[in-house]
Amino acid sequence: MNTPNPTPTPKPGSRQWRGVIREYADRLDVTDATPIVTLGEGGTPLLPAPALSRRTGADVWVKFEGMNPTGSFKDRGMTMAVTKAVEHGAKVVICASTGNTSASAAAYATHAGIGAAVLLPEGKVAMGKLSQTIAHDAKLIQVQGTFDDCLDIARDLAANYPVHLVNSVNNDRIEGQKTAAFEVVEVLGDAPDLHVVPVGNAGNYTAYTRGYREDIAAGNATRMPRMFGFQAAGSAPIVRGEPVRDPDTIASAIRIGNPASWELALQARDETDGYFGAIEDAAILEAQRILSAEVGIFVEPASAISVAGLLERAAAGAVPRGARVVLTVTGHGLKDPQWALRTADGSDVEPTVVPVDTAQVAAALGLAS
């Protein structure tokens, strides 16, 4: 029972973004008959980050994907995956998730009037994402294993039961996500020299490479950026060259030991003269703080690894002066807000408390002479 998906008829001059499928219909596998399921995803800000430019000597921009409807880049792929699922007559979509995919699948399935079943690693999903998944009325199952175990089961179920898989092994997801590269090129007028993304399943790394490749073929961009991808040190199978059985990092979104798009990612790295690196959790949290306190963008830890990765590469002398760099930050800080409430040594941040008294507030703020 699919809800109708009316095409908006905006007044002339209306500038509401129409979601990535309508905005890029000519570059995606859709027709006039496709029942588009959108929550208005995409069209996210690409923001200059002077503090990061100062720190690195590069010209740094941040693609803030936390501004998508469910707070992560997953919405770009999910609008496409759920649209195609509905087009194929699916009644239930299924995914394994570290949290953001499930939040997105739940929201888009609900909007389409179909069901969502999600498999999450028990106790390993940030509260905001769990809350979203429940709020959007998904059938939520916590599996006593890792994300990788969940993905194995989701693939099994999709092969044997009437459920439609919307993990990024589904090419529709990659197709939707490639639109982020189109947006970057539109705003900057060309591709950047260097593009940095966090890596879990490496679907997004693959999707950006595809988007840039298509933009070059279409004459919109003149160059392929070097694609840099970063994994958490405790969960870095691509960097180590072998699956990680029990991946461990505070960046729960990318706690993935056996990436689904591993082969595609290695091809993309070779095509772009790219790079994969590993970053320790402490450096991830430090980068999260730099981005929130010096640039004004709050992201979840997995997303901050783009910043940490750039800082690490710059310190290693691997980022040319003046290079134009785009960092994709994939998920909003409100998804997993607890980390900002801790100091670097792990103790809780204690807000100052004062009585109802202007003079004491002034003194606490350091305003008193």
Q: Which of 300, 310, 319, 333 binds ligand AN7 (CB under 6 A)?
A: 300
Smallest CA-to-CA distance from 259 within 213, 220, 322, 202 is with 202
Nearer to ligand AN7, 266 or 361 (CB): 266
* x/- letters, 114..153, toward ligand AN7 (CB under 6 A): ----------------------------------------
How buried is 296 (Cβ within 10 angstroms: 0-12 exposed, 13-18 middle, 19+ buried)? exposed
Q: Beta-strand (E) ranges in the chain?
A: 46-48, 59-64, 92-96, 115-121, 139-143, 164-165, 194-198, 226-232, 275-279, 324-329
Q: Which of 94, 211, 303, 304 binds ligand AN7 (CB under 6 A)?
A: 303
Q: Which of 181, 199, 233, 285 binds ligand AN7 (CB under 6 A)?
A: 199
Q: Which of 98, 258, 272, 288 binds ligand AN7 (CB under 6 A)?
A: 98
Is residue 277 a contact residue for ligand AN7 (CB under 6 A)?
no
Is residue 204 a contact residue for ligand AN7 (CB under 6 A)?
yes
Q: How far is the CB of 227 from ligand AN7 (least distance, A)?
A: 12
Radius of gyration for the alpha carbons in the chain, expressed in angstroms and rounded: 21
Contacts of 119 (CB under 8 A, 6+ apart): 94, 95, 96, 97, 141, 143, 150, 151, 153, 154
Is residue 253 a contact residue for ligand AN7 (CB under 6 A)?
yes
> How far apart, in Å, do the first and last CA atoms of the chain sit?
68
Is residue 198 a contact residue for ligand AN7 (CB under 6 A)?
yes
Q: How far is the CB of 167 from ligand AN7 (least distance, A)?
A: 7
**What residues between 58 and 77 interact with ligand AN7 by CB under 6 A?**
72, 74
Q: Distance (Å, rounded) from C-alpha 201 to C-alpha 256?
A: 7
Residues engaged in binding ligand AN7 (CB under 6 A): 72, 74, 97-101, 168, 198-205, 253-254, 300, 302-303, 330-331
